[in-house]
Structure 1
Amino acid sequence: MKTYTIRQVSQMFDLPASTLRYYEEIRLLPAVEKTEAKQRIYTEEHINRLGAICCFKETGMSMAQLLEFFAYEEEERKHINEILALLKEQEEHVAKQIEKLKSAQKQISRKLSYYSDIKASMDSGSDCPDWADY
């Protein structure tokens, strides 16, 4: 079984070691064993769970929601409806984020086009474009 040190896991996920210790403290990352020298030993199971944690956090899931999700997951048969509801809510949240980002990207593209045309008009000595045309 492949194992990892706290330094390796920290680098793998670009997380400070203090965050990994905190996740362990609040039981978001359970069952981290330690060597006789008190060094933490992470397994593939921890790596998989951290991948999910980082993914969920990236989408804006709160710590409370993360704890809730993983608590439900421990007894998934009993809590399948709660798991589905939580994931559905998060999926809707992500869809809204994507729409906002698409709107922002569209605005940036308009500005980029406008200012590119301003530069081109300055270089050629022609009239500057009007923002109303974009």
Structure 2
Amino acid sequence: MTIAEVSAKFDLSQDTLRYYERIGLIPPVNRSKSKIRDYTEEDCKWVEFIKCMRSSGLPIEALIEYVTLFQEGDGTAEARKELLIEQRDNLVLKMEEMKSTVERLNGKIARYEETIGKKEKGLKRS
């Protein structure tokens, strides 16, 4: 697949895809004879994985570390697992914080609705 096709498929800009490759978030993509990026199915799996992880808020640094460890081979499996566990735990904590914030906002919104309801009841119909 060309970079344009991958860009459209994953809704990522071509610049983002080039950046991800340049910083090591996705392994180097093979090039055609004319030096055009030629994404394989495996490359697309990496793009999908990175997009998912980034949209969840995982830091680029952690993902670079993960990809680097992956490229080092099976001997790093435990380190990769620990990295993923740490990132999962961070996400769970963020989700709990977000849930608490949503609950607080719901309470404030309910108080506004209650106040507005009382004011509307006090209005007379003409």
**Which bin holds the TM-score, normalised by the shorter protein?**
0.7 to 0.9
Unaligned residue ranges in structure 1 (runs of 5+): 127-134
Match of residue 91 from structure 2: 94
Match of residue 51 from structure 2: 54
TM-score scaled by structure 2? 0.83
Opposite residue 7 of structure 1, the aligned amino acid is A
Identical columns (%):
32
Query: How far apart are the structure 2 equivalents of 1:17 and 1:64?
Result: 21
1:1-134 to 2 correspondences below 5 Å: 4-125=1-122
Contact 2:7 2:13 in 1 (8 A): yes
Contact 2:2 2:36 in 1 (8 A): yes
Opposite residue 34 of structure 1, the aligned amino acid is R
97-106 or 38-47: which moved more?
A: 38-47
Opposite residue 32 of structure 1, the aligned amino acid is V
Query: How far apart are the structure 2 equivalents of 1:15 and 1:105?
Result: 29
Q: Name the count of aligned residue pairs.
A: 123
Contact 1:76 1:83 in 2 (8 A): no
Structure 1 runs of 4+ aligned residues shifted over 4 Å read none
Secondary structure in structure 1 of the residue aligned to 2:38 = strand
Query: How far apart are the structure 1 equivalents of 2:88 and 2:81?
Result: 10
Report which of the two has the higher share of strand. Answer: 1
Structure 1 position 76, deviation (Å): 4.5
Query: How far apart are the structure 1 equivalents of 2:9 and 2:116?
Result: 43
RMSD: 1.9
Contact 2:24 2:67 in 1 (8 A): no
Query: Any idea what the Cα deviations from partners look like across 1:57-115, whole Å, max 9, x if unmatched?
Result: 22332222112111222345301221121011101100111011101110111122111
TM-score scaled by structure 1? 0.79
